[in-house]
Structure 1
Amino acid sequence: MATVSDRPDPPAAKPRVRAGSLLGTVPFLAYVAVFLIIPTLVVVVGAFAGDGGFTWSNVAALGEGYILDAFARSVALSAVTAAIGAVLGAVLAYALVTARPGGPLRRVVTAASGVLAQFGGVTLAFAFIATIGLSGFVTVFLRDHLGIDLYAGGVWLFELPGLALVYTYFQVPLMVIVFLPALDGIRPQWREATESLGGSTWQYWTRVAGPLLAPAFLGSALLLFANAFSAYATAAALVSQGNPIVPLQIRGALTSEVVLGQQNLGKAMALGMVVVVAVVMTGYTLLQRRTARWLG
C-alpha cells in the first residue's frame, strides 16, 4: 500500500505571464526595433541590393585596397586604444577596490568615470582642439614659455595618433565601470587562504586572482574594442581631410559623388562593421558568462 511519501509530487504549476506585465516592455521593444533592428535590416538588405535586384558586387567591392586599408586602420586603432584603456582602467579600478569601501574617493571616481565614459562626439573633439590643438592654450603655453613645440613632427592630433589619444580618454573610464564589479567579486578569504598555505603575493595573483579575473579583463577589453571600432562623431569632428577609418569611409560613400553601380557600397561597409562588432560582442558575452560563473 502506497504511503503519502510514496506518492509522486504534483507537477509544478507553470508561471503565468499576464498581458499587463508585458506592457512595460513595449517602449523598450519599440526603441530596439526603431534604432537597432530596422537600421540593421536596412543595412543588410541594401548591401545586397543593386539596380537589377540582388547583387554581390557591393560586398565584393569590400576587397578594394582602400577599403581593406580603412578596416585595418580601424582595427589597429581600436585594438591599441582598447589595450591601453584596459590596462590603465584596470589599475585605476584596483586602486578604487583597495580604498575604503563607500569612501569619497570611490564615489567621486566612479561618478566621474560614468560621466567621462559618455563624453564624446563633437564636444570631446572641441575640448582637445581647444586644449592641445594648434592654437590650444596648453600648446601655446608650452611653446611660448618652455620652448616645447607639440607639433614639431607634424599635425598629429588630426591624424590616427590624435584619434588614439582622444579615444583613450573615454576608454579608461569605461574600463573602470565594466571591470570594477569583477574586482569586487574577489573575496578576501581567497588571499587569506593562499597566505595560510604559504603562498606569496605573486602566487596569489598568478594562480588564484589572475585566472579568475582574466575572463573579465579580456571581456572588458573586447567591449572597449567594439566601443572604439563603432565610434564616429569624434573622428568626424576631428579629422577634416581624408577617410582613414571605416566610419569616415562610410560617410564619404554616403555624402560624396557615387560611382555608378556602387550606390550601396556604404551599406556594404556598414555590414562589414556589423559583422566585426557581432563577433567581438559574442566573445564578450561568452567571457562574461564565464566570469559570472566564477565570481557570481
Structure 2
Amino acid sequence: MTTSRTAAASPAAAAPAAPPAPAPAARTGRRARRSGALAVVPLLLFTAIAFGLPAAAMLDGAFTVDDPATGAAAYGLGNLTASWQGAYLTALVGSVKLSATSAVLAAVLGLLLAQAVVTSPLRALREAVLTASGVLANFGGVPLAFAFVATLGNSGVLTRELGLADTGWNLYSFWGLVLVYLYFLVPLMVLTITPALDGLRTQWREAAQNNGATHRQYWQHVALPVLAPSLLGGLVLLFGSAFAAYATAAAMVGSSVPLVTLQIADAISGNVLIGQENVALALSLDMVLVAGLVMAVYLPLQRRSARWLA
C-alpha cells in the first residue's frame, strides 16, 4: 500500500515545476511603454516633415552648383565658398556681432530684473512683470519697428522733445538696432532665468552668512557658479532669437546694417544679383552651423547645473 502510493507520487515529484506566471505589474509596465512609444510616432512624423524635409532641401541646394557655361547642376562647395567672402561674410560677422552684443546686455539686464522680482515681497508685482514679459517677448517684427521709429526715429516724439538729434543719436544704426532688440530680449531673459533663481535655496545663503561671507562673496562663490549654466542657456536662447530676427531689422534699417538674414532675403528675391538662391541656402547652412557651435558649448554645462537645481 505504501509502496504503490510512493510510486504513484514519484512522477509528480520528478516533474519540473511550471514557470511562474508574469506579474501583472510587469505586463502593465510593458504595455505602458509600448503605448508611450506609439504616442510619440505622430510627433516624430511631424518633426520629420516640418524640419527634416526643409533641412534636406537646404543641404541639397547649398551643395548644388550650376555650371555657368552649360547650366548643368553638380554637387560642390562653390556656394559655401561664396558665402564666406565679400558682402556675405560681412553680413555674417555683423549678425554675430549684433546678436552677441544684444544677448550679453539683455542677459545682464534680465538677470537684475528677475532677481528684483524674485526677492520682492509683492506677489502682484511678480505676476505683473512675468505676464508683461510673456507679452513683450513675443512682440516684434514690423509693429515693433514702427513703434520705435515713431518714438525715437529722426522725427520721433522723444527725439524732438529731448533734442536727441543734436547729440548725434541715430536709431537706424548698429546701436539703435541693439536698443530695439533689447525690447524683446530682456523680457525673454526674465522668463528664462526666473525658474533658476527660484531654485536657489535659502539654506545656501544662510550657510554662507553663518560662515562670514558677504553678499558679494555669496554671489561670487555660490549663486553665480550654480546659475552659470542657466545663464549660459539663456544667453544661447537670446543669441538665437537675435540671430534669426529678420522683420524688425528689414523694416527699420534695411541694408544700412549688414545682417545675414537680410542678405538671404536679397539673394532669394534677386534684389542685388540674379541666380543666387543656392548661395542663400548656403548662408542658411552657415547660420545652422553657428547655432550648433553655440549649443555644443551650452549642453555640457546644462547637465552640470541640473543636479544642483533639481
Q: Which amino acid aligns with 1:252?
A: D
The match for 1:44 is 59
Label 1:22 to 1:213 Cα distance change in 2 as closer, same or farther (>3 A).
same
Q: Which amino acid aligns with 1:37?
A: G
Residue 179 of structure 1 pairs with residue 200 of structure 2: no
Unaligned runs of 5+ in 2: 1-22, 67-72
Aligned residues with identical type, % of pairs: 48
Q: Which amino acid aligns with 1:187?
A: R
Q: In the TM superposition, what whole-angstrom CA distance separates every residue of 1:157-176 from its partner, at most 9, and x where no partner exists?
A: 22222211111111110110
Name which of structure 1's ranges 77-86 and 277-286 shifts more when overlaid on structure 2. Answer: 277-286
Cα distance in structure 2, aligned partners of 1:77 and 1:64: 19
1:131 Cα deviation after fit: 1.2
Q: In the TM superposition, what whole-angstrom CA distance separates every residue of 1:18-59 from its partner, at most 9, and x where no partner exists?
A: 458845762x44553444222222111110012322121101
Cα distance in structure 2, aligned partners of 1:75 and 1:202: 32
Radius of gyration: which is bigger?
A: 2
Q: Quote the RMSD (CA, aligned, Å).
A: 2.6
1:271 Cα deviation after fit: 0.4
Secondary structure (helix, strand or coil) at the match of 1:294 reads: helix
Of 167, 176, 182, which aligns to 2:181? 167
* Correspondence list, 1:10-29, <5 A: 15-16=30-31, 17-19=33-35, 22-23=38-39, 26=42, 28-29=43-44
1:287 Cα deviation after fit: 2.7
Q: In the TM superposition, what whole-angstrom CA distance separates every residue of 1:2-21 from its partner, at most 9, and x where no partner exists?
A: xxxxxxxx996663334588
Residue 69 of structure 1 pairs with residue 90 of structure 2: yes
Label 1:21 to 1:161 Cα distance change in 2 as closer, same or farther (>3 A).
same
The match for 2:290 is 276
Of 140, 144, 159, which aligns to 1:139? 159
* Correspondence list, 1:202-213, <5 A: 202-213=216-227
Q: Structure 1 length as normaliser, TM-score?
A: 0.86
Cα distance in structure 1, aligned partners of 2:166 and 2:44: 49
The match for 1:56 is 77
Label 1:202 to 1:138 Cα distance change in 2 as closer, same or farther (>3 A).
closer
Cα distance in structure 1, aligned partners of 2:206 and 2:271: 66
Q: In the TM superposition, what whole-angstrom CA distance separates every residue of 1:277-296 from its partner, at most 9, and x where no partner exists?
A: 12223333333222222111
1:67 Cα deviation after fit: 1.6
Residue 123 of structure 1 pairs with residue 143 of structure 2: yes
Name which of structure 1's ranges 236-245 and 54-63 shifts more when overlaid on structure 2. Answer: 236-245
Q: How many residues align?
A: 280
Residue 246 of structure 1 pairs with residue 270 of structure 2: no
Label 1:292 to 1:151 Cα distance change in 2 as closer, same or farther (>3 A).
farther
* Correspondence list, 1:59-98, <5 A: 59-98=80-119
1:259 Cα deviation after fit: 5.0
Residue 111 of structure 1 pairs with residue 131 of structure 2: yes
Cα distance in structure 2, aligned partners of 1:243 and 1:32: 34
Cα distance in structure 1, aligned partners of 2:173 and 2:187: 23
Question: Is the contact made by 1:243 and 1:249 (CA closer than 8 Å) also made in structure 2?
Answer: no
Question: Is the contact made by 2:270 and 2:276 (CA closer than 8 Å) also made in structure 1?
Answer: no
Q: Structure 2 length as normaliser, TM-score?
A: 0.82
Q: Which amino acid aligns with 1:59?
A: L
Cα distance in structure 2, aligned partners of 1:71 and 1:289: 30
Cα distance in structure 1, aligned partners of 2:200 and 2:159: 43
- The answer to which structure, 1 or 2, has the higher relative contact order (CA under 8 A, 6+ apart) is 1
1:152 Cα deviation after fit: 5.0
